[in-house]
Amino acid sequence: MATVAGTLAHQANTGVWSWITTVDHKRIGVLYGVTAFTFFCWGGVQALIIRTQLAVPYGNVVDAGTYNGLFTMHALTMIFLAIMPLGASFFNFLTPLMIGARDVAFPRLNALSYWTFLAGGLVLSSSFLFGQPPRGGWFNYAPLSSTQYAPDLGIDFYVVGLLTLGVSSLMAALNFAVTILNLRAPGLTMMRLPVFIWMTLIISFLLILALPPLTVALIQLLFDRQFGTHFFNAAEGGDPILWQHLFWVFGHPEVYILILPAMGIVSEVLPVFSRKPLFGYPAIVFSGIAIAFLGWAVWSHHMFTTGMGAVPRTIFAANTMIIGIPTGIKIFNWLGTMYGGSIRFNVSMSYAVSFIALFTIGGISGVMHASPPVDTQHQDTYFVVAHLHYVLVGGAMTGIFSGIYYWFPKMTGRFLDEKLGMVQFWLWFIGVNMTFFPMHYLGLIGMPRRIYTYDPGLNFEFWNMFETIGSFVLAASVLAFLWNFFTTMRKEPTAPNNPWGAPTLEWATTSPPPEHDFDVIPTVRARDPLWYDRDHGIEAPQPTGEHIHLPPPSYYPILIATGILLLTVAPLTHLAMTVLAVPIIVYGIWGWALEPTE
Amino acid sequence: MTATGRQGETVHVTRKSRAFARRWLPLCSLVFLVALLTGCQLDTAQSTTVIAGTHNAEVWNSYRVIFWLAGLVFVVVMLLTLWISIRFRERPGVSAQQIHGNTKLEVLWTLIPVAIVVVMAVPTITSIQREAQGPPADAIKVIAIGHQWWFEFQYPDLKINTANELHIPVNKPIAFEIRSNDVIHSFWVPQLAGKIDMMPGHVNSIWFAGTVARPEPYLGQCAELCGLSHANMRFRVFVDTPEDFNSWAQKVKSATPAPSDSLARQGQEVFQRSACIGCHTIQGTTAAGIVGPNLTLLGQRTTIASGTIPNTADNLFRWINNSAAIKPGSLMPPMGQSAGGALSDDEIRAVSAYLLSLK
Ligand code: HEM
Ligand SMILES: [Cu+2]
Ligand SMILES: [Cu+2]
């Protein structure tokens, strides 16, 4: 944390305590980013062990139980502790800046989201320390999750971990929905919002609606395991398929929660480096809304092989294929943005363009298994693994890297090294394709997913070895990024306000921005405000010396998060822990409510 | 605090790295393509692209259309992206055209995905409809039940119960009733049929006929994570000629084990007085356990441990001695004294001989 604190050293308050009590959206964004990237590296290490195990037939790097724990934790780490909070990192840092506000609507709630996320992440990850990771896959199908088939604490870690992370996401979602709807600068109408902000708004609503079904399912599972209910126990009149419906009603919107930040990022980056406004802004916004809306009507495409009848299979297939249409529109609009431009291929832009290509591959395979007959051959094979990694690694992570190189000067005042960045980009691009493209082929020739071992003679050998090599190329890329990050952080901050000549409001303030974001709240006159002002010779307003009110730091967020952490630990140790946890939470809320805001 | 930034202030990309990219990108793609085309044999033992059953044939009615469409979209979008990236890279003296949108174009590229989706949906929906009609009336009924970590097969009409190696007559529709005994498993023989989940508390169904008789088995594998030995939960399907199938069925039904050599006889005696009979059935004897796989005519099977290892005396010995060493988590307790069980090495060898004699 010390390095990070250094990045904002020009600000008056430094030191660990200032980070613990901060309610500044920028610092919380940095905390999210650093924590999530750390988890990303940890999830990557798990992936490398998995790939090493699979490099040759009969691999014996790890045993079956460890392997099942690894792929389960790898998915949970990457989805809930890396990609989601990396998205959160961007929208924490950027939302107020991009809408011309001085902070989010509820700054302390924002801090509480972060600390709760950290608590959930630590609890979930600590399952490895106790040798009892969850082993049921990230979707954790019943009844393999019951105490009968999973007697150790693994599934309990899963339940309390995800419950806690859900609380965190829900608070963040409410906060950002309110912020975007209420705190926009004068003139910033909805149809002038940057696409990244639109995506943040959509994600917020998706989260608000998607987390309840997951929470219900988790609580039912918690009750099944702790109190002997039978929600998912077929022998006692429960039904394991209930879990699948509840999980995927959350799970499919969740995949859009994962990809929309990246779509927002590239929608900002592509116009800037093509030197051209976004092509078809309304179409991009409305297709984003359409995707989010249709995303609620497709969850059973994860369940085509569970024995659903012909009618639901037809309907869910049709809906899933229809989602391909707005997705296609987006891709064409991004290409349209580049068309006729004057494209500068720096690192950020290279990532953004490769996002289009890689995400398209994932979209195509998605539409392929939208067909239920085809899906009977895809489901639970490496073809699905290829699909989900193209959208999550080729899509979400590639977009996130584009965003990191793009906004790094704004966040820190420093430029990441472009040469090293280019090396990192090519390692990444080659690594993604080496690791994940052959998985399509392996799925096609019948390699199931989630197997810790396979026989020779099925033609699985060559491409598995190839993929393993590819995964180390990816690892090299991440190391190159870390190197770039740490060396850059030791340089002097030199970035001007708007180094890329970008049109959105965050570039109107200093790099990094002052604690209060803007000396004067900007006025927006068009969709690309800074380009409009530039072209119409409008000067920035002069500071008026008005009093700027900022919320004071508060330790109640971390206090309440500590209470939540103890609550989380109760099902893992003894339910009596709640007696300790509840008073802390109640006291925290009490103090929070009465805390003076000056 | 104005937006002072103008285009081109901080270009870090050098000419060199561009030339580098231009030189290496095509080369890498070429190497990749060549590797792809040479390393990608399709007619492999577990490949979904080999069509030897009616269900998989039905799948490929849709898949063929979707596969080529997907390929087409892939090639078009990749080439478009590449072309735009090269054609419109920044050049001195050329500035960007300030276009905000183009309604005609946007309508066009909304219609393209619509058309693609319609073309995909037609074979898909007809296929679902055909499948919904259910199996032909003359289908043979087979009940397939998933257990952690093996497959049970019952032929209720033929009064046969077997495990892990399924025999079916060629070109005869088989109507499967799909069940699970514990957690969710999935029944999948890629070359014959797509998969169908084995759900506790539900009865699923699928039907197909094997269309190509051959002595080598079709490989099946559980396709839903079902615990520790999910990877080791496999099975084999033999698509026999009608004569072979009938003689196999006759043999199973009338099996009455009478081992001839003395080691096997001793093995039978050990088997009958040990824990084995609590879990296993051998037809024609008093062994009638139902927890583990039915061992009738085990000597005829090509593999043991749900299709994972060849059925040899050595492997049987290792399995009976300590099955979890072969299949992690195996629910069969270790029988050998060295692993905490009751049987001596000699006794296990005798039992193995007995089981192999069941032909
Ligand atoms: C055109 C868009 C898409 C379509 C039509 C689509 C369709 C599908 C379908 C039908 C499945 C189920 C496959 C199976 O299990 O047999 C699936 C799985 C999956 N998709 Fe997509 N998808 C699309 C985009 C995305 C995006 C944008 C993401 C995330 C960023 C995503 C993430 C996933 C994941 C994680 C799974 C696997 C879940 C699991 O089984 O673990 N998909 N997709
Ligand atoms: Cu989905
Ligand atoms: Cu399984």
Q: Which ligand is nearest to the CA of A398?
A: 1
Q: How many domains does chain A have?
A: 1
Distances (CA, A) of A545 to A28, A541, A548: 27, 12, 9
Residue A287 pLDDT greater than 60, yes or no: yes
**Whose CA is closest to atom 34 on ligand 1?**
A388
- The answer to whether the Cβ–Cβ distance between A321 and B88 falls below 8 Å is no
A392 touches ligand 1 (CB under 6 Å)? yes
What would the two tokens of residue A51 be? Answer: 């790939």
What burial class does residue A493 get, using C-beta atoms within 10 Å of its C-beta: 0-12 exposed, 13-18 middle, 19+ buried?
A: middle
What burial class does residue A245 get, using C-beta atoms within 10 Å of its C-beta: 0-12 exposed, 13-18 middle, 19+ buried?
A: middle
Distance of alpha carbon A259 from alpha carbon A506, whole angstroms? 22
Residue A466's nearest CA partner among B287, B211, B78, B36 is B36
- Selected catalytic residue, list A51, A225, A313, A449: A449
pLDDT score recorded for residue A1: 29
What would the two tokens of residue B195 be? Answer: 């998969």
Annotated catalytic residue A138: yes
Residue A566 pLDDT greater than 80, yes or no: yes
Classify residue A577: in a domain, yes or no. no
Ligand 2 center from residue B51 Cα (angstroms): 28
Distances (CA, A) of A52 to A462, A519, B147: 14, 53, 30
Classify residue A225: in a domain, yes or no. yes
pLDDT score recorded for residue B15: 53
**Among A78, A391, A397, which residue has the most ligand 1 atoms within 8 Å of its CB, making it the best to mutate?**
A391
Distance of alpha carbon A140 from alpha carbon B332, whole angstroms? 25
pLDDT score recorded for residue B4: 36
A301 touches ligand 1 (CB under 6 Å)? yes
Domain enclosing residue A176, as ranges: 2-324+338-348+489-538
DSSP per-residue string spanning A278-336: PTTHHHHHHHHHHHHHHGGG-GGGG-TTS---HHHHHHHHHHHHHHHHHHHHHHHHHHH
Residue A7 pLDDT greater than 80, yes or no: no
Residue A179 pLDDT greater than 50, yes or no: yes
Residue A550: pLDDT band with limits 50, 70, 90: confident
Classify residue A375: in a domain, yes or no. no
Annotated catalytic residue A301: yes
pLDDT score recorded for residue A233: 95
Question: Is B262-356 assigned to CATH 2.60.40.420?
Answer: yes
A125 touches ligand 1 (CB under 6 Å)? no
A298 touches ligand 1 (CB under 6 Å)? no
ipTM score: 0.92
Classify residue A560: in a domain, yes or no. no
CA nearest A448 in B: which residue? B223
Is pTM beyond 0.90? Reply is yes
CATH number at residue A16: 1.20.210.10
What would the two tokens of residue A406 be? Answer: 């793009």
pLDDT score recorded for residue A66: 97
**Which residues on A lie below 8 Å from B96 (Cβ)?**
274-276, 340-342
**Among A266, A364, A369, A392, which residue has the most ligand 1 atoms within 8 Å of its CB, making it the best to mutate?**
A369
Residue A214 near residue A247, CB atoms below 8 Å: yes
Residue A111: pLDDT band with limits 50, 70, 90: very high
For residue A355, count other CB atoms closer than 10 A to its CB. Answer: 26
Query: In chain A, pLDDT over 90 holds for what percent of residues?
Result: 93
Ligand 2 center from residue A434 Cα (angstroms): 24
Longest Cα–Cα distance of chain A, Å, equals: 76
Residue A435 pLDDT greater than 90, yes or no: yes
Distance of alpha carbon A173 from alpha carbon A19, whole angstroms? 22
Ligand 3 center from residue B69 Cα (angstroms): 32
Q: Which of A305, A354, A435 is the mutation pick for testing B, counting most B CBs within 10 A?
A: A305
Q: Which residue has the tokens 């980070």?
A: A19
DSSP per-residue string spanning A380-439: TBHHHHHHHHIIIIIIIIHHHHHHHHHHHHHHHS-PPPHHHHHHHHHHHHHHHHHHHHHH
Residue A532 near residue B30, CB atoms below 8 Å: no
Ligand 2 center from residue A234 Cα (angstroms): 25
DSSP per-residue string spanning A91-146: HHHHHHHHHT-SS-S-HHHHHHHHHHHHHHHHHHHHTTTTT----STTTT-TTTTS
pLDDT score recorded for residue B105: 87
CA nearest A533 in B: which residue? B3
Residue A11 pLDDT greater than 70, yes or no: no
Q: Average model confidence (pLDDT) for chain A?
A: 94
pLDDT score recorded for residue B14: 47
- The answer to whether the Cβ–Cβ distance between B28 and A430 falls below 8 Å is yes
Classify residue A376: in a domain, yes or no. no
For residue B6, count other CB atoms closer than 10 A to its CB. Answer: 11
Atom of ligand 1 nearest to the CA of A75: 41
DSSP per-residue string spanning B204-253: EEEEE-B----SSPEEEE--S--STTGGG-EEEEEEE-HHHHHHHHHHHH
Give residue limits of the domains in chain B.
140-253, 262-356
A378 touches ligand 1 (CB under 6 Å)? yes
Residue B124 near residue A343, CB atoms below 8 Å: no
Annotated catalytic residue A256: yes
Q: B64-70: long-range contacts (C-beta < 8 A, 24 or more apart)?
A: B65/B119, B65/B120, B65/B123, B66/A367, B66/A368, B66/A371, B66/A374, B66/B120, B66/B123, B66/B124, B67/A368, B69/B116, B69/B119, B69/B120, B70/A364, B70/A365, B70/A367, B70/A368
Distance of alpha carbon A358 from alpha carbon A435, whole angstroms? 13
Give per-residue pLDDT as tens, B110-133.
Answer: 899 999 999 999 999 999 999 999
Residues forming beta bridges with residue A448, ordered by sequence position: A381
CATH number assigned to the domain with residue range B140-253, chosen from the 4 options 3.20.20.80, 2.40.160.100, 2.60.40.420, 2.60.40.10: 2.60.40.420
Q: Which amino acid is at A392?
A: L
* Phi, psi dihedrals of residue A564, rounded to the nearest 5°: -65, -40
Q: Which residues contact A32 (CB under 8 A, 6 or more apart)?
A: A85, A86, A88, A89, A92, A114, A117
For residue B98, count other CB atoms closer than 10 A to its CB. Answer: 12
Q: What is the mean pLDDT of residues A141-165?
A: 96
Q: Which residues contact A239 (CB under 8 A, 6 or more apart)?
A: A231, A232, B201
Q: Which residues contact B54 (CB under 8 A, 6 or more apart)?
A: B173, B193, B208, B209, B211
Q: Which of B73, B117, B148 lies at the smallest CB-CB distance from A364?
A: B73
Each of the 359 residues of chain B gets a pLDDT tens digit; together they read 333 333 333 344 445 556 666 667 777 777 767 766 667 788 999 999 999 999 999 999 999 999 999 999 999 999 999 999 999 999 888 888 888 878 888 888 889 999 999 999 999 999 999 999 999 999 999 999 999 999 999 999 999 999 999 999 999 999 999 999 999 999 999 999 999 999 999 999 999 999 999 999 999 999 999 999 999 999 999 999 999 999 999 999 888 888 889 999 999 999 999 999 999 999 989 999 999 999 999 999 999 999 999 999 999 999 999 999 999 999 999 999 999 999 999 999 999 999 999 98
